[in-house]
């Protein structure tokens, strides 16, 4: 890819690569959290609107408290995605092998809330 090439956008079907993936890293900074899978170039960067469900509790994280989302996701390092669902309106739900669930939903702000970077170099933005 050259500087003149555009980044290819992935489809909902391309995201199926997440099913069975192992969460191997959680990287936290002031405005977001990056989840890495399979020790490779499969990542999800979350900046807003994350919903985390575990042990009967549901927590919703916006950008002001996104660091707390990163802390919650640390408990899933080494866990595998057992189920994956994405819709055409870019809602994504990942279920993990310990019963935890992560939902990512875009909003009407005009800014991305999350980005999925796939191993083939394409991205999916919600």
User: What are the domain boundaries of the chain?
Assistant: 13-118
Rounded to whole angstroms, the Cα distance separating 99 from 81 reads 10
CA 98 to chain CA centroid, nearest Å: 17
Query: What global pTM score does this model have?
Result: 0.91
25-42: per-residue pLDDT in tens?
Answer: 999 999 999 999 999 999
CB atoms within 10 A of CB 58: 10
Q: What is the pLDDT of residue 1?
A: 45
The H-or-E segment that residue 103 falls in is strand 101-104
Residues above pLDDT 70, as percent of the chain: 96
48-64: per-residue pLDDT in tens?
Answer: 999 999 999 999 999 99
């Amino acid at each position: 890819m050259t500087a003149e090439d555009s980044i290819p956008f992935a489809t909902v079907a391309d995201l199926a690569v997440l099913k069975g993936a192992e969460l191997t890293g959680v990287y936290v900074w002031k405005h977001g959290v990056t989840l890495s899978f399979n020790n490779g170039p499969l990542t999800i960067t979350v900046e807003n609107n994350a919903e985390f469900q575990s042990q009967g509790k549901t927590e919703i994280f916006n950008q002001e408290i996104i660091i707390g989302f990163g802390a919650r996701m640390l408990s899933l390092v080494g866990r595998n995605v057992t189920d994956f669902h994405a819709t055409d309106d870019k809602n994504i739900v990942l279920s993990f092998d310990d019963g935890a669930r992560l939902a990512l939903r875009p909003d009407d702000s005009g800014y991305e809330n999350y980005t999925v970077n796939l191993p083939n170099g394409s991205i999916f933005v919600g």
